[in-house]
Amino acid sequence: MAVRRAKDFLLGADRDRVGEDTLGLLDDEVRRLVAEYPRVPLSAVWSDLLETQEQVFRLLEGGRVRQPSQLRDLNIHGAILGFLVAKGFNDMQVPHEAMTMTRVASACARDAEHPGLIALTDGLKSLIAYWADRPEDAYHYASKGAEAAANRQGTVGLWLLGLQARAAAVLGDEETVRDANRRAAERREYVVLDELDELGGLFTYSRNKQLYYSVEAEVLLGNGNAQLAAQAEEAVQGFSDTSAPDWAFGDLAGSQCDLALVRLYGGDVDGAAAAIRPVLDLPSSHRNNGIIVSAVRVRNALTAGRAGAAVAARDLRAEIEAFPVGRPALPRG
């Protein structure tokens, strides 16, 4: 309470102009939220996200910003916070609100004249559409963003290619999947980390995440050979170190579900059950939209596959069916 009161005092102290301490405070808070978002349940950061976004909006609307550089910094903060809030709405399975907030983030990015953030918001639109089962829209937004980020040296362009590959896989376009993943792999060798990558969290696309996306695209095409199984295991292993800077519970759960699918396609029900077990054991606070959709894909594969009649498959399918039901309401705002 004391810290919150001090922040309120500082944000209101410079009544005629925005001071360096105010901007510094916001910068610290934005960086903290970016770092924490992938690592903790949404309920742990949601109220701080909304409060900090409201503070940025008030400063942008209040006419107290006198220097162009300060205005640009505030719009960058607005774009980053809008991105995180939009991702939160997506995690709560409310895609309309998520898309609306993404457009707010995009407007701030354009006002800041920040091409990287503009491309990132296209990527977020693709991600929202992907998890909402709108693959055509997901592919459109990913392609638009990938074109805009084609000459950027940071990892945002690679993320957009990964999003493009996943959407194309849902559409059954194997050629585009392979082409997008090939280009992303080639570009990885020439990456020069930029200011977005330095933020970390959802604003950088690590090698582990690139492998996870690549495996998922192949899994969505229905592939499950030994080579892909090895890559899926590598992706899970890559996200197994909770102290790693790119660790994210959602990416770990997604890669575990993909490994379960690969093993199912190979007829290994017990191996699939072992792969998805940590996902099913997640506390209810961590069961966001993407994790639930990924688990449901495993359930659907159990229903459709030849191994579905086995007792182990029936038990696993029943447990996955109960998994979303146990999710409590996530914070709304």
pLDDT of residue 65: 76
pLDDT of residue 308: 53
Q: What are the angstrom distances between the C-alpha of 148 and each of 62, 97, 119, 156?
A: 32, 25, 6, 10
Q: Residues 39-94: pLDDT tens digits? A: 999 999 999 999 999 999 989 988 777 788 889 999 999 999 999 999 999 999 99
Measured over the CA atoms of residue 65, residue 69, residue 72 and residue 76, the dihedral's sign is negative
Q: What are the angstrom distances between the C-alpha of 310 and each of 130, 268, 306, 320?
A: 31, 11, 9, 15
pLDDT of residue 63: 74
pLDDT of residue 2: 47
Q: Residues 195-209: pLDDT tens digits? A: 999 999 999 999 999
Assigned token pair, 239: 């996200």
Give the chain's end-to-end CA distance (angstroms, integer).
21
Taking 70 as the pLDDT cut, the residues of the chain under it are 1-19, 305-310, 325-330, 332-333
Question: Do the Cβ atoms of 262 and 276 come closer than 8 Å?
Answer: no
3 state DSSP class of 235:
helix
Instruction: Give this prediction's pTM.
Output: 0.92
Helix axes 289-304, 115-131, angle to 10 degrees: 40
Task: Look up residue 159 and give its amino acid.
Answer: W
CA distance 217 to 223: 9
Task: Look up residue 231 and give its amino acid.
Answer: Q
CA distance 121 to 103: 8
